Structure 1
Amino acid sequence: MGDEERNGAGTPAFPPAAAEVARLLDLDDAAGVPEDRRARHLAHAVRAPLLERGSPPEEFFAPLMAAAVHDPDPGLCRWFVEPALHACGRRRVTTALLDHARTGTDAERAGARRARYCAHLPLRANRSAVYAPGGTRDPALDESHDVADRWLQHTAPPDRDEK
């Protein structure tokens, strides 16, 4: 593990991705935090406001996915995936991660694989009213079996001829 990963910066794209989510939440830019710890500080700072918000607006989707894919910590990328799941649905999140896995850099492909694990989190009523009894949510937003099948096809090892 390199120094950037140990101190929380992760890939070079993680600090600006975490900063963009913090900006959308109107959080301070952590100017007093040392540069090598700023991204992880911002990631911690956005967690509570994102959970309180439940379903952030559409403008949050791309920055949340970027932060999730670039976050080097497989456990903490959940803080970015979970709000996107509640706001946009499992299908859209899984599709975005598959796109990163197909077309991203090596770091983005690895990040998409880490974040995909979090895309299976249960969707809870205490995170979004649409999942509460009587809540209305189009079930198609969370139907992702076909995307999961495409993911498996993309990541499956090539067939080998046994000649």
Structure 2
Amino acid sequence: MADDDRTRTSTEQRSFLTCATAVARLLGVEESAGEPGDLRARRLAHAVRKPLLERESMPEEWFVPLMAAAVHDPDPSFCRWFVEPAVYAFGLRRVAAALVDHLRNGTDAERAGAVRAWYSAHVPLRPDRSPLYGPGDGLIGAGRRCPA
């Protein structure tokens, strides 16, 4: 692996660690020190997954940290852990708009992350999956209706 590739990978992992740490702090989840950054970031992501889905509501200020964590998660299988609660809480339209913004204005890493997250944003919503789910058209989430 070339030095540039190692530096880029290290920077992306640090970004994901920063984002995962921000979400963990919002939830009051303790960060475990002493682990390598990529392992620590994955453990934090795992630790916040269930609490995010179990919440009955999410404050507005959580949207940006959730989307940042989703876009910076290097694993396409796990970025869903941030995208799905965001869709339930804030709706598909808002999540999709944020992802499109990353595609238009983000770094190369953020654009790649937005593409990975796009797939997860379109999973079917299930009422039994999260208390955040509310009646609606399935596009907005949390019972929010699209303004006329």
TM-score range for the pair, normalised by the shorter chain length: 0.7 to 0.9
Cα distance 1:124–1:11, how it changes in 2: closer, same or farther (>3 A)?
Answer: same
1:60 — aligned with what? 62
- For residues 129 and 107 of structure 1, what CA distance do their matches in structure 2 show? 30
Structure 1 length normalisation: TM-score?
0.74
Deviation digits for residues 105-162 of structure 1 (CA, Å, limit 9, x no counterpart)? 0000000000000110112212125139xxx823428xxxxxxxxxxxxxxxxxxxxx
Letter in 2 for 1:98: V
CA contact (8 A) 1:61 1:88 kept: yes
- Alpha-carbon distance change, 112 to 60 in structure 1, aligned in 2, over 3 angstroms: same
Q: CA deviation at 1:103?
A: 0.3
Greater Cα radius of gyration, structure 1 or 2: 1
Q: Are 2:134 and 1:130 aligned? A: yes
1:21-32 equivalences under 5 Å are 21-32=23-34
TM-score (norm 2): 0.81
Root mean square deviation of aligned Cα: 2.7
Report the Cα offset of residue 3 of structure 1: 7.0
- What percent of counterpart residues are identical? 57
**Secondary structure of residue in 1 paired with 2:134:** helix
Matched, 1:101 2:107: no
Contact 1:9 1:38 (C-alpha < 8 Å) held by counterparts: no
- What corresponds to 2:139 in structure 1? none
Question: Is the 1:55–1:83 Cα contact (8 Å) retained in structure 2?
Answer: no
Q: Structure 2: how far apart are the matches of 1:14 and 1:110?
A: 13
Which stretches of structure 1, 4 residues or longer, exceed 6 Å deviation after superposition?
Answer: 1-6
Structure 1 unaligned spans of 5+: 142-163
Greater length-normalized contact order (CA 8 Å, ≥ 6 residues apart): 2
The farther-off stretch of 62-71 and 23-32 is: 23-32
Contact 2:66/2:82 (<8 A) preserved: yes
Are the aligned partners of 2:14 and 2:38 in contact in 1 as well (CA < 8 Å)? no
Q: What is the CA distance between 1:32 and its match in structure 2? A: 4.1
Aligned 8 A contact 1:9 1:36 in 2: no
| Residue in 1 that maps onto 2:120 | 118
Contact (CA 8 Å) 2:13, 2:38: kept in 1 or not?
no
Cα deviations across residues 69-117 of structure 1 (Å, max 9, x unaligned)?
Answer: 0001111000000010011000000000000000000000000000000
**8 Å CA contact 2:17, 2:40 repeated in 1:** yes
Pairs aligned (count): 137
Distance 1:3 1:102 in 2: 25
The farther-off stretch of 89-98 and 27-36 is 27-36
